[in-house]
Amino acid sequence: MDNRRLMTVGAAALGLLPLLLAPGETPAKTIIVPYVLTVVSTGTITHATDGLDLFGGGDLVGKTYTQTYTVVDTLPAYLQSFSLNNLESTDASVVTTIDGHSYTVSGTGDAGNFYVAPNDGPAFDERAVEVTGSAPNDTYDYVGDSVARTPPQWAGDPAAVSLFQDNTVSGQTGYLVGSVLDVSPGPCCSGPRTGLNFAVTSMSTSYTTTTAFIPEPSAWTLLLVGTFGVGATLRRRQASGLRPWRPAA
């Protein structure tokens, strides 16, 4: 493409700017989206086998536990929603602490708030979270908790059922996710293992957000025209035999 043709195309692109910058254009948007969800689960241990000595061994039944889940929203910003009641993530982790001993599982996870109305019983709210992963020593790891609350408070209220608010659900161990920790060597779950069952009494949620900026159409246009201008300048330099300036060594 010669210089004259480049100048013609450039003039045409610049001529579109007044139309794109005219009043009535779609404005830039700044949206706040969920980024990291933290779920803290507390309760007591109802059954325990600590064959891997992760929590000091001994009889763990009746001891209290704390589990802190971190679930990162890995969806693109334009798919995120501030009113999600279910979050799936490829970047999740949970730290289980019992008697000063902690064990971390990292991998994929999900969390959700649900309003459940069974045919054979009273309706209830349920909060559930789980993480599945593989530890460095090639063990299979699964940790999951859920808590049910009755009478329900989320029925017919999409804002209340959202995960992304600071609140606590207290009640009894739920139903959608088994409240367990299971750590087994290798994929076949053979050999010594640590398996715990929990009576969940409360699960609290908190979250942090990030700000996503969506440029207005004119900003994209200016960016494209600027890129075109740089390319045209470089082509003119090449056609005239000039080399780009470089600092002296």
Task: With beta carbons less than 8 A apart as the criterion, state whether 92 and 142 touch.
Answer: no
Task: Give residue for tokens 């649900």.
Answer: 114
Token pair listed for 68: 């802190």
On the CB side of 96, CA atoms within 13 Å amount to: 30
What is residue 181's predicted lDDT score, i.e. its pLDDT?
94
Domain housing 126: 32-212
Q: Is residue 199 part of a domain?
A: yes
The predicted model scores a pTM of: 0.70
What is residue 9's predicted lDDT score, i.e. its pLDDT?
45
Question: 103-128: per-residue pLDDT in tens?
Answer: 999 999 999 999 998 888 889 999 99
DSSP secondary structure letter of residue 36:
E
Q: Distances from the Cα of 110 to the Cαs of 66, 143, 225, 227, in angstroms?
A: 18, 11, 43, 42
Q: Is residue 221 part of a domain?
A: no
Q: Is residue 235 part of a domain?
A: no
Task: With beta carbons less than 8 A apart as the criterion, state whether 188 and 166 touch.
Answer: no
What is residue 29's predicted lDDT score, i.e. its pLDDT?
55
Q: Is residue 109 part of a domain?
A: yes
- The rounded distance, in Å, linking the Cα atoms of 100 and 98 is 5
Q: Is residue 22 part of a domain?
A: no
Amino acid (1-letter code) at residue 162: S
Q: Is residue 152 part of a domain?
A: yes
pLDDT in tens, the chain (249 residues): 555 554 444 544 444 444 444 445 445 555 556 678 999 999 999 999 998 899 998 889 999 999 999 998 876 555 555 457 888 888 999 999 999 999 999 999 999 999 998 888 889 999 999 999 865 566 788 999 999 999 999 987 878 888 888 999 999 999 888 899 998 876 555 667 899 999 999 999 998 876 655 556 555 566 565 565 555 555 665 555 555 445 555
Bridge partners, 101 (sequence order): 98
Helix intervals (H) in the chain:
3-15, 17-20, 217-240
What is residue 39's predicted lDDT score, i.e. its pLDDT?
96
Instruction: Dump strand ranges (E) for 138-193.
Output: 139-149, 167-170, 172-173, 180-185
Amino acid (1-letter code) at residue 185: P
Q: Is residue 191 part of a domain?
A: yes
What is residue 230's predicted lDDT score, i.e. its pLDDT?
53
Reduced to 3 states (helix: H, G, I; strand: E, B; else coil), residue 248 is coil
Sign of the torsion angle spanned by Cα atoms 177, 183, 187, 190: negative
What is residue 173's predicted lDDT score, i.e. its pLDDT?
92
What is residue 227's predicted lDDT score, i.e. its pLDDT?
60
Q: Is residue 151 part of a domain?
A: yes
Number of domains in the chain: 1
What is residue 41's predicted lDDT score, i.e. its pLDDT?
97
